[in-house]
A and B are shown apart, each in its own frame.
Chain A
Amino acid sequence: MGSLALSAIRKSFGAVDVLKGVDLDVAAGEFVVFVGPSGCGKSTLLRIIAGLDEQSAGDVRIDGRLMNGVPPARRGIAMVFQSYALYPHLTVAKNMSLALSQEGVAAADIRRRVETASALLRLDALLDRRPAELSGGQRQRVAIGRAIVRQPSLFLFDEPLSNLDAALRVGTRIEIAKLHRQLGATMVYVTHDQVEAMTLADRIVVMHGGVVEQVGRPLELYARPANLFVAGFIGSPTMNFIGGDAAARASAATIGVRPEHLVVAREGAWTGAVSHAERLGADTMLYVDVPNVDVLGAGMLTTRILGDIDYDVGDRVGLTPQEGKVYRFDGGGNSIAA
């Protein structure tokens, strides 16, 4: 129950190609996250899966059934929106049961399903309230509950945590992960936040400019990014990219080193002055000006050290990449196998 297959999905709005041929297979029970910068087409792809937008070309199959032209309500999906999209004039219970009564499910069955979902999401006390009387986190739980009661073969999440504040976001993220374990349902989740992607996904689909850059398990993407874009997008702070001589010595057009893979010492492969330090307690980020190294982008090397290390702005430091932690890319931006 709940497999999804996309083949050669294209979508154009007028002359603009938003999706340029997307192929993807999602197995039943899998949690797949679409991640990418805004405008990469991830939300459009989700809306095409939902049937809210029609693809310009290509096929959508859910549970093996061709879904082209099938209205959203008949696709066996449920969707959770960024803005919650609760019906403002209906109570929580009615919000959750509306789709079921539209489908003609028996009243007793509806009540049972709403009770199960509200118990799962701790919404029992709120069933008679209206959305306006709920907090943001509660609203999002109702929106998730509304999806659960439908018992869909496919859950679709469109940036569900973006409107929540930081603390609630972490809590709700954990709740969604638990829910996936409990229900064992197939979930497709769209976000621009790589932390959400890394923590929730069984598999991540990194999208950029309407194409899929790489599909893989979170740590696979972290350890073996297929190209410069994925390497830069996954991981925080972002990877340092270095061109010029340093790259040439490694017989690559560009090399990349993650901030956490740079060893800081008095002397190192690259030396420079600390231009800025960010202390988070658990770890410290140093931004180091290295005049003799061709750093792409910001022109500074970022390094992340565990603990609170006492470096000040202006201090000279040496940075050395850890053995075997240097990523190499060719002139086209693709990874060179180690």
Chain B
Amino acid sequence: MIPARTWPLGRAGVHLVLILYTALCLGPVLLVVMNSFKSRAGIFGAPLSLPNAATFDLIGYKTVLGQGAFLRYFGNSLIVTAGSLAAVLLFGAMAAFALSEYRFRANRLLGLFLALGIMVPIRLGTVAILNMMVAARLVNTHLALILIYTAQGLPIAVFILGEFMQGVSKDLKDAGRIDGLSEYTIFFRLVLPLVRPAVATVAVFTMIPIWNDLWFPLIVAPGEATKTVTLGAQVFIGQFVTNWNAVLAALTLAVLPVLVLYLLFSRQLIRGITAGAVK
């Protein structure tokens, strides 16, 4: 059998490619984490080496955590991300349910309209969005960012969740109707638990760009009270002097919440990604 003989070699090749890619992805992150534990001299002296007794220094973390504002930035990021995520998932799932479950005249058109958002980058509308936010007096509020990110995340959420919801057995929903469940109960109790892997997938894909975004916080909410972590880390980057210890420490800390959430979602995520592929 030919496939059996070439299999181990092919597998090794695949693994080699995957390992290289993993190294490529993780390298910069490792570099940031490693150097965040080193003194300034350590960072510049040997940027690629692990921290040792001579170079180990927590000065970066001390600077970051010592500056009270940083915790607030963290809080802002959490509020904005959690708020947008909740809105995207709730409204995205509801829209997807309506589009996949109910037959009405503009169904197709509405689905297409919502999918358009996937193709048009929201940043193209920055000026108009800023004007809107100024007019609505929402500049420098969490709500401004939450609204923008909800709009940004909804199209893909509706698209992915809609696909999955179409896969939920029609009989199951009908059984619920015969048992006297309301449409909301059918949605929350029957359909949503069944598309949980898809929800987790959408959650991760939605959450990461929001947490990492620099653009909209810089433009719509740069005020001290609403600064997010990514924007806050920029205070250590000066025009002439950059506090690299602090920048790296801030970035390392900023990775943590996303990492935790990712670990929480990851099992579901993998199921969500493979569900469509295998069936």
Using a CB–CB distance below 8 Å, which chain A residues touch chain B? 47, 50, 52, 71-74, 77-79, 81-89, 98-99, 102-103, 146, 158
Q: Which residues of B contact A47 (CB under 8 A)?
A: 174
Given contacts A81-B171, A82-B171, A85-B172, contact A73 B190 (CB under 8 A): no
A73–B174 Cα distance when bound, in Å, is 10
Using a CB–CB distance below 8 Å, which chain B residues touch chain A? 169, 171-172, 174-181, 190, 193-194
Q: Which residues of B contact A89 (CB under 8 A)?
A: 193
A92–B175 Cα distance when bound, in Å, is 15
A81–B172 Cα distance when bound, in Å, is 9
Q: Of B171, B172, B180, which one neighbours A99 at CB under 8 angstroms?
A: B180
CB distance from B106 to the nearest CB of A (A): 15
CB distance from B197 to the nearest CB of A (A): 13
Q: Which residues of B contact A71 (CB under 8 A)?
A: 177, 180
Q: Are B193 and A79 in contact, CB atoms less than 8 angstroms apart?
A: no
Q: Are B174 and A98 in contact, CB atoms less than 8 angstroms apart?
A: no
CB distance from A31 to the nearest CB of B (A): 20
CB distance from A134 to the nearest CB of B (A): 16
Q: Of A73, A85, A102, which one neighbours B169 at CB under 8 angstroms?
A: A85
Q: Are A102 and B171 in contact, CB atoms less than 8 angstroms apart?
A: no
Q: Of A52, A84, A87, A103, which one neighbours B174 at CB under 8 angstroms?
A: A52
CB distance from B118 to the nearest CB of A (A): 29
Q: Are A88 and B171 in contact, CB atoms less than 8 angstroms apart?
A: no
Q: Which residues of B contact A158 (CB under 8 A)?
A: 171
Q: Which residues of B contact A72 (CB under 8 A)?
A: 174, 177-178, 180
Q: Are B174 and A79 in contact, CB atoms less than 8 angstroms apart?
A: yes
**For residue B172, which residue of chain A has the nearest CB?**
A85
Q: Of A73, A77, A85, A146, which one neighbours B171 at CB under 8 angstroms?
A: A85
Q: Which residues of A contact B176 (CB under 8 A)?
A: 87
Q: Are B174 and A85 in contact, CB atoms less than 8 angstroms apart?
A: yes
**Do most interface residues of chain B lie in helix, strand or loop, or is the interface mixed?**
helix
Q: Are A87 and B190 in contact, CB atoms less than 8 angstroms apart?
A: yes
Q: Which residues of B contact A81 (CB under 8 A)?
A: 171, 174-175
Q: Are B174 and A99 in contact, CB atoms less than 8 angstroms apart?
A: no
Q: Which residues of A contact B181 (CB under 8 A)?
A: 73, 98, 102
Q: Are A78 and B171 in contact, CB atoms less than 8 angstroms apart?
A: no
A47–B170 Cα distance when bound, in Å, is 12
A146–B171 Cα distance when bound, in Å, is 14
A47–B169 Cα distance when bound, in Å, is 15
Q: Are B193 and A85 in contact, CB atoms less than 8 angstroms apart?
A: no
A3–B171 Cα distance when bound, in Å, is 25
Q: 9 more A-B contacts (CB under 8 A) besides A52-B177, A85-B171, A85-B175? A: A52-B178, A71-B177, A77-B178, A79-B174, A84-B171, A88-B193, A102-B179, A102-B180, A103-B180
Q: Are B193 and A73 in contact, CB atoms less than 8 angstroms apart?
A: no
A89–B178 Cα distance when bound, in Å, is 18
Chain B CB count within 10 A is highest, among A85, A88, A103, for A85
Q: Which residues of A contact B193 (CB under 8 A)?
A: 88-89
Given contacts A83-B169, A88-B194, A89-B193, contact A73 B175 (CB under 8 A): no
A235–B193 Cα distance when bound, in Å, is 46
Q: Are B172 and A73 in contact, CB atoms less than 8 angstroms apart?
A: no
CB distance from B169 to the nearest CB of A (A): 6
A73–B176 Cα distance when bound, in Å, is 9
Given contacts A88-B194, A89-B193, contact A83 B171 (CB under 8 A): yes
Q: Which residues of A contact B171 (CB under 8 A)?
A: 81-85, 158
A78–B176 Cα distance when bound, in Å, is 11
CB distance from A163 to the nearest CB of B (A): 11
Given contacts A85-B171, A88-B194, A89-B193, contact A98 B179 (CB under 8 A): yes
Q: Are B172 and A79 in contact, CB atoms less than 8 angstroms apart?
A: no
**For residue A84, which residue of chain B has the nearest CB?**
B171
Chain A CB count within 10 A is highest, among B172, B174, B176, B181, for B174
Q: Which residues of A contact B178 (CB under 8 A)?
A: 50, 52, 72-73, 77-79, 99
Q: Are B175 and A79 in contact, CB atoms less than 8 angstroms apart?
A: yes
A84–B169 Cα distance when bound, in Å, is 10
Q: Could you list 22 A-B pairs, sorted by A, with CB under 8 Å?
A: A50-B174, A52-B177, A52-B178, A71-B180, A72-B178, A72-B180, A73-B177, A73-B181, A79-B174, A79-B175, A79-B178, A81-B174, A82-B171, A83-B172, A84-B171, A85-B172, A86-B175, A87-B172, A98-B179, A98-B181, A99-B178, A102-B181
A84–B174 Cα distance when bound, in Å, is 11
CB distance from A145 to the nearest CB of B (A): 13
A146–B178 Cα distance when bound, in Å, is 11
A81–B190 Cα distance when bound, in Å, is 16
CB distance from A78 to the nearest CB of B (A): 7
CB distance from B168 to the nearest CB of A (A): 10
A182–B194 Cα distance when bound, in Å, is 36
**For residue A89, which residue of chain B has the nearest CB?**
B193
CB distance from A218 to the nearest CB of B (A): 28
CB distance from A262 to the nearest CB of B (A): 43
A82–B190 Cα distance when bound, in Å, is 18
**For residue A83, which residue of chain B has the nearest CB?**
B171
Given contacts A87-B172, A88-B194, A89-B193, contact A99 B177 (CB under 8 A): no
Q: Which residues of B contact A83 (CB under 8 A)?
A: 169, 171-172
CB distance from A327 to the nearest CB of B (A): 39
CB distance from A252 to the nearest CB of B (A): 45
Q: Are B179 and A99 in contact, CB atoms less than 8 angstroms apart?
A: yes
A87–B181 Cα distance when bound, in Å, is 12
CB distance from B48 to the nearest CB of A (A): 50
A72–B171 Cα distance when bound, in Å, is 13
